[in-house]
Amino acid sequence: MSDAKDPAAGTAATPVEEAPERLLARISVDFFLESAIMMSDLFGGDFLRSIIFLAVTRENLRALSYYQELAAHRAAGDAPPETPAPRPASVYSISKILGLNYETTRRHIGHLIRGGYCTQTSAGILVAEETLNRPEFLRANGRNVQNFRDFARNMHATVNSAAEMTPIPEKFEF
């Protein structure tokens, strides 16, 4: 009879025994799922709608290099630059980015507009500024900041402890 633990018997490896790349993957999955659950809760549990909302938000902010410009102006002692306007997103661009059917994307964006989360302009879709200032969004943002801090702390601890045990490869092969 062997003393080795049978993986099929349901005994989980302790963090020290787990390969560093598996630990990093697990930490990443935990972060993603916690963020995804938080976002879908804002949209009545509709995960796809929350992903579409995030894609619209990202497209709105894509052209904004404001924070890099702000840092450069502060470093130079200059006055801060004007905050640029967000860039509207099209239903087509969101459907292509997410690999979704155009009609599915259009329908979900219609729900976001009717729910007051986004606005439709002649140039495209914008996340309504009031949306990001809603109490539930501010709470979710605070929770997500903590989620990110936990993620960063766990990644740092894993990388540091793994570096003592075995080198972490530059590229992971699965």
pLDDT band at 98; cut points 50, 70, 90: very high
**Digit-coded pLDDT (tens) for 27-41:** 999 999 999 999 999
Among 81-85, 90-94, 123-127, which is the least confidently predicted range? 81-85
Res 139: pLDDT: 95
Instruction: Say what the alpha-carbon torsion angle 60, 64, 66, 71 is, to the nearest 10 degrees.
Output: 120
Q: What percent of the chain has pLDDT over 90?
A: 56
pLDDT score of 3 more than 50: no
Per cent of the chain over pLDDT 70 is 73
- Contact between 151 and 33 (Cβ < 8 Å): no
**pTM metric for this prediction:** 0.71
Domain count, the chain: 1
For position 94, what pLDDT does the model report?
98
Give a yes or no: residue 46 inside a domain: yes
Is 109 among the domain residues? yes
Residue 56 reports pLDDT greater than 80: yes
57 lies in a domain?
Answer: yes
Other C-beta atoms within 10 Å of 61: how many? 16
Q: What is the pLDDT of residue 2?
A: 44
Q: Look at the alpha carbons of 128, 81, 140, 32 in this order and tell me if their dihedral is positive or negative.
A: positive
Residue 14 makes CB contacts below 8 A (sequence gap 6+) with none
pLDDT value, residue 118: 97
Contact 53, 36 (CB under 8 A): no
Average pLDDT value for residue range 138-166: 84
Structural domain contains residue 25: no
Q: Which domain holds residue 128?
A: 32-165
- Residue 93's φ and ψ, nearest 5 degrees, are -65, -40
Write down the pLDDT at residue 6: 47
CATH number at residue 88: 1.10.10.10
CA distances from 36 to 30, 146, 157 (A): 10, 14, 24
Residue 3 resides in a domain? no
Residue 90 resides in a domain: yes
**Residue 26 in domain:** no
Token readout for 63 is 């052209």
More confident residue, 137 or 71: 137
Q: Is residue 72 part of a domain?
A: yes
